[in-house]
A and B are shown apart, each in its own frame.
Chain A
Amino acid sequence: MSLLPFFEWCENTGVGHAIRNSLWLFPVIESFHLLALAMIGGAILIVDLRLLGFGLKRQPAAQLLRDAEPWLIGGLVVMVTSGVLLFTSEAIKCYYSSAFWTKMTFLFPALVFTFTVRRRVATAEEGRWRPLWGKLVAVVSVSLWSVVGAAGRWIGFSG
């Protein structure tokens, strides 16, 4: 079964039409998408840097994760909302964009990894996991999110 009919339906929704027909809406929504990018970047990096032994290394990783998590979730809410809106305005272009599919393919594991493995390792009691595991988790996290970000930017260059 092809997903194309679903993408066509998205593109034909009233929201999709409204954004496409407006001069300002797309760039304004894009701006929110970018601001959320910075917020998510900071909230992710502060924990991953700590796991790698950089940044606020005198603070427990668990504490930093708990401090950053509301901001991460807030950033993700803005990101996904603005992202869905941008998508509906050009769903068919996205369907034919390999950058879009790359982004979605990495977004799902990035989200799952962040709220399962990474969360578990970062909030574990000190010494429960070898530091090497923390470093590995940080590298995987930064790598997954970097692909999501880079592929996301690349959607704009395709088509």
Chain B
Amino acid sequence: MSLLGFCQWLEGTSWSIALHESLWVYPIVESVHVLTLCLFLGTAILVDLRLLGLMMRRVPFTEVFDRLQPWTMAGFVLMVISGALLFYAIPVRTYLNIFFRVKVVMLLLAGVNVWVFYRTVYRRVADWDLDGIPPKAARWAGGVSLVLWAGIVVAGRMIAYNWFDAPGVH
């Protein structure tokens, strides 16, 4: 089955239709998705700013990272669940939407950025943990993360607009 075929099957399931047509549940799920930005992205931004040496320079990086990570992860879980439900409510249109595809690609790149960070400069964190301004590779990781997440938010917002939708898809 193709991805499109899968989305078409998903769209025909009764729960998808119920969610799509619900008066309250869909807006509530969407609001959770938006407001969780404060928890997920808000705490992720703080870590990125610390990596860039722009905030909390006197606090060891690992302290910022370790103490905020549970909150970032909790926000991420809420984001994924609410995001999956939003997709489930409108699968075919979302799958075909250019902004959704751009968002997925940037999400993957953000994941790669974290992976590279863990595999490289984070391994030597003991050497720069107390540095107010972390080494270049760490600053890059923070900067790339900020740019990608900003792009993800913008692309995510644009999914709601149908400028480039194929005719007849809604």
Q: What total count of A-B pairs have CB within 8 Å?
A: 92
A43 within 8 A of B: yes
- Contact of A43 (CB < 8 Å), options: B27, B42, B71, B154: B42
Contact B63 A34 (CB under 8 A): no
Interface residues of B in 25-53 (CB under 8 A from A): 27, 30-31, 34-35, 37-39, 41-46, 49
Contact A149 B41 (CB under 8 A): no
B64 within 8 A of A: yes
Give chain B residues whose Cβ lies under 8 Å from the Cβ of A58: 63, 67
Q: How many residues of B contact A (CB 8 A)?
A: 32
- Contact of A146 (CB < 8 Å), options: B35, B37, B42, B67: B35
The range of chain A's interface size is 20 to 34
Per-position 1/0 for A42-61, Cβ under 8 A of B: 11111001000011111100
A3 within 8 A of B: no
B84 within 8 A of A: no
Using a CB–CB cutoff of 8 Å, the interface residues on chain B facing chain A are: 27, 30-31, 34-35, 37-39, 41-46, 49, 55-56, 58-59, 63-64, 67-68, 71, 149-150, 153-154, 157-158, 161, 163
